[in-house]
Structure 1
Amino acid sequence: MSFDQHDPVFTLHRGGKLVVNSAVPLSTRDDLSLAYTPGVARVCEAIAADETLVHEYTWVKHTVAVVTDGSAVLGLGNIGPRAAMPVMEGKGALFKQFANVDAVPICLDTQDTEEIIAAVKAIAPSFGGINLEDIAAPRCFEIEQRLDEALDIPVFHDDQHGTAIVVLAALRNAAALLDRKLERLRVVVSGAGAAGVAVTKMLIAGGVEPGSVIVVDSRGAIHSDRTDLTPIKREMAELTNGDGVSGGIAEALRGADVLIGLSGGTIEEEALAGMAPGGAIFALANPTPEVHPVIASRYAAVVATGRSDFPNQINNVLAFPGVFRGALDAGATRITEGMKVAAADAIAGVVANELRRDAIVPSPLDPRVAPAVTEAVAAAAVRDGVTRS
């Protein structure tokens, strides 16, 4: 692409989007003696004697690391850690703006699973949570699972779970608007990467019948007779597609009520014609949806995308700031399925009394969202017994 330093986008990004400011006064000798030496030594000694005090007497309780290896950045692909930095800074800005969570971008110059896990474990004492970001599948699954098991702070891969939370919220409201029962919907998920797998699991956790979900990858519907499946896709085959549907996206969509596109590919209009009338299409690939909204609206009553220039934007910012704020406030050691479902319910509830076909989720700028998610997630953490106190 061409580079124009006078482009307003580049003007805004010059110097980066994040800074670090002192939270305490540093104007006098007394200020210095309290904030640094000799006063700080007393706090260090207290934490050395009781490490749990780090959550009360440092920034840990309100700070997360946003960690990437630059392997799956937005729709740009494997662009590396340096090129990923503007996105990670942006994530940090959103954390601060919407939930007053301080976030530090950590762009790792490795795409080796073991090295990433080791690096995150090594920096974990400095943070209250780890937001994994833009790490390619299938590596992201193992990294998140092993870090979740190894650390006593929340670990959350936003490309998986942030997307899944907002999709569940949107589908809850779409079903209510269309007078459908979530547990009776036939759903096709196009894409078996990080987001596709997480969305499938989240929909099932939220009430969709497992056998009524069909996951489609680049080779067609995932079913138990396929011999080319990775371990994650094998898990999907055992969990979903109760009728054993085979073939491509057109076969999977016959009689389906809902299509959720998470593949980045193109779905032909002919395939949509087999869907049950009056359903929903969420075409979430960015920047180009799998189905253009104008075409999708010919076959579905409710249409959503991942873009801000069409109605019903499925945007992760509706989820991740409040999820982490709630987890941090509750002193959660991990993020459970119950906390994620609670977040989805909270997002859906913000606009439950204002539903329209072009407004099934709140605006990303709606100030009600993060507080609602925060409260719901914190309460769910207590219910699920994953808090420190």
Structure 2
Amino acid sequence: MADAKSARSPDIGGGAADAQRAEALRSRALAYHAAAPAGKLAIEVTKPCTTQAQLSLAYTPGVAAPVREIARDPEFAYDYTAKGNLVAVVTNGTAVLGLGRVGPLAGKPVMEGKAVLFKHFAGIDAFDIEVEARDADHLIDVVTAIAPGLGGINLEDIAAPDCFRVERELQERLDIPVFHDDQHGTAVIVAAALRNALIVQEKNLESVKVAIVGAGAAGVAIARMLQSMGVQRCFLSDVHGVLHRGRKDLSPWHDDLAVAPEDWTLAEMLADADVVIGVAVRGAIPEAALPTLAPRPVVFALANPDPEIDPRRVRQLRPDAVIATGRSDLPNQVNNALGFPYLFRGALDCRARRIDTGMLLAAVDALADLAREPVSDAVLAAYDLAPDSLRFGPEYIIPKALDPRLRERVAAAVAAAARRSGQARR
């Protein structure tokens, strides 16, 4: 996790030392996953089954009693089965980490890892489901078919633009939360960090110019989230240029976000920007743009492991900037583990039918508020930090992933928002 006590920046990209570190990490990771039992997940039995009487309750004939109750009223599944605390982590393997279309089986370690985070941070049981889907329609049909026994669906590593359609259609078909973490999970954490960064920079959401470099799942979701929070001027670019009405290669999901002037280049989109958010690849934000940014800018370079622009150069050329990355070895790590476990925890606790915008915004507010509070001794101990070394400011705008207050604060805020919006069953 990020260590905000250190002002030194690590080497980022290139060099023999980096290659050695990468190989050492590779070796440790393979050994970690191969240690018996292989993988990272197992199933545990939650009821005693050591006597014949207990076995007769766990299975036949006793199991018929809850079967009849659920057949009479499907809501009883929440009372008599694990449905209410069970999430499927689903992928088709088309956009796995930064590795691209590696296929569903190669994506399984990531999905297992996501399930581990669900359990570790929020006490949620999760099954990883890797689907060899022919197309988006097939994936939608498969997930719809397996949904009855689940309390929620976490879509993961599905390439754009299919990810937009898959999520929307599953939300319409199902009466349980369906959430694409690469979209909305990222957007929630970015929005919370940005809310606090703008407080540090003495700016407000309604007046800033936001430039988002990257218009895939994360970029689109971030743009929509910021618009729902009051941002008026938000522009996006992709590998082909700035999004504007004149482009004929955009998907329908981009139409309402293509608002830049048709003659803009990337340099013009970045000029005078108060906020630059990178959700692309290394080098996507040119160093030459730094001097043209507005005074006291916010620069989020979130590509992993190599940010869109070297944070060291941002610090050198723009010492007035607030900087965040996706890296755990730099201050202000934008880490999705701050969001999705607690969003689902809150949704499951109130048996929500879906995760709506109000619930996402509640998570944003809870995360932002927590970062402005004094840091607990438990957090300092977890990161081996000295007392008073971590406090709200340019290098601490978002809570640490190991903050034990996250589960209570964020989950409670999400559940309360679900009740206000009518999404909660209880």
Interval containing the TM-score (normalised by the shorter chain): over 0.9
CA distance in 1, matches of 2:26, 2:161: 39
CA distance in 2, matches of 1:180, 1:246: 28
- The aligned residue for residue 177 of structure 2 is 154
- The aligned residue for residue 13 of structure 2 is none
Secondary structure, aligned partner of 1:39: coil
- The aligned residue for residue 405 of structure 2 is 368
CA distance in 1, matches of 2:214, 2:24: 36
Secondary structure, aligned partner of 2:299: strand
Residue 295 of structure 2 corresponds to residue 272 of structure 1: no
CA distance in 2, matches of 1:159, 1:344: 16
The number of residues matched between the two structures is: 383
- The aligned residue for residue 342 of structure 2 is 322
Root mean square deviation, CA, Å: 1.8
Secondary structure, aligned partner of 2:57: helix
Q: State whether residues 206 and 230 of structure 2, in contact with CA within 8 Å, keep that contact through their aligned partners in structure 1.
A: yes
Q: State whether residues 415 and 424 of structure 2, in contact with CA within 8 Å, keep that contact through their aligned partners in structure 1.
A: no
Letter of the aligned partner of 1:126 in structure 2?
Answer: G
Give the C-alpha shift of residue 272 in structure 1: 2.1
TM-score by length of structure 2 reads 0.87
CA distance in 1, matches of 2:208, 2:392: 19
- The aligned residue for residue 222 of structure 1 is 243
Q: State whether residues 371 and 399 of structure 2, in contact with CA within 8 Å, keep that contact through their aligned partners in structure 1.
A: yes
Residue 45 of structure 2 corresponds to residue 27 of structure 1: no
CA distance in 2, matches of 1:262, 1:8: 28
TM-score by length of structure 1 reads 0.95
Q: State whether residues 343 and 414 of structure 2, in contact with CA within 8 Å, keep that contact through their aligned partners in structure 1.
A: yes
- The aligned residue for residue 85 of structure 1 is 108
Give the C-alpha shift of residue 226 in structure 1: 2.7
Output aligned runs, 1:46-85, within 5 Å: 46-85=69-108
Give the C-alpha shift of residue 6 in structure 1: 10
Which deviates further from its counterpart, 142-151 or 257-266? Answer: 257-266
Output aligned runs, 1:1-389, within 5 Å: 7-14=27-34, 15-209=38-232, 212-237=233-258, 240-241=259-260, 244=261, 246-266=263-283, 267-297=285-315, 298-299=317-318, 300-353=320-373, 354-389=391-426
Higher RCO, Cα 8 Å, sep 6+: 2
CA distance in 2, matches of 1:3, 1:26: 46
- The aligned residue for residue 385 of structure 2 is none
Q: State whether residues 94 and 321 of structure 1, in contact with CA within 8 Å, keep that contact through their aligned partners in structure 2.
A: yes
Structure 1 segments of 4+ aligned residues over 6 angstroms from their partners? 1-6
Give the C-alpha shift of residue 265 in structure 1: 4.5
128 and 6 in structure 1: CA distance in 2 versus 1, 3 angstrom threshold: closer
Give the C-alpha shift of residue 388 in structure 1: 2.1
Secondary structure, aligned partner of 1:358: coil
Percent identity over paired residues = 49
Give the C-alpha shift of residue 83 in structure 1: 0.9
Letter of the aligned partner of 1:213 in structure 2?
Answer: C
Q: State whether residues 190 and 216 of structure 1, in contact with CA within 8 Å, keep that contact through their aligned partners in structure 2.
A: yes
Secondary structure, aligned partner of 1:66: strand
Letter of the aligned partner of 1:122 in structure 2?
Answer: A
- The aligned residue for residue 9 of structure 2 is none
Secondary structure, aligned partner of 2:105: helix
CA distance in 2, matches of 1:9, 1:142: 34
Q: State whether residues 246 and 262 of structure 2, in contact with CA within 8 Å, keep that contact through their aligned partners in structure 1.
A: no
Question: Structure 1, residues 270-302: CA drift from partner, whole Å, max 9, x if none?
Answer: 122210121110000111100111112222521
Which deviates further from its counterpart, 226-235 or 312-321? Answer: 226-235
Q: State whether residues 69 and 111 of structure 1, in contact with CA within 8 Å, keep that contact through their aligned partners in structure 2.
A: no
CA distance in 2, matches of 1:3, 1:36: 49
CA distance in 1, matches of 2:346, 2:67: 27
Give the C-alpha shift of residue 55 in structure 1: 1.2
- The aligned residue for residue 11 of structure 2 is none
CA distance in 2, matches of 1:30, 1:12: 40
Question: Structure 1, residues 299-347: CA drift from partner, whole Å, max 9, x if none?
Answer: 2521000111111110100000000000011111011011001111111
Letter of the aligned partner of 1:364 in structure 2?
Answer: A
CA distance in 2, matches of 1:160, 1:381: 20
Letter of the aligned partner of 1:10 in structure 2?
Answer: L
Give the C-alpha shift of residue 376 in structure 1: 0.6
Give the C-alpha shift of residue 227 in structure 1: 3.0
Secondary structure, aligned partner of 2:396: coil
CA distance in 1, matches of 2:61, 2:349: 30
CA distance in 2, matches of 1:36, 1:158: 36
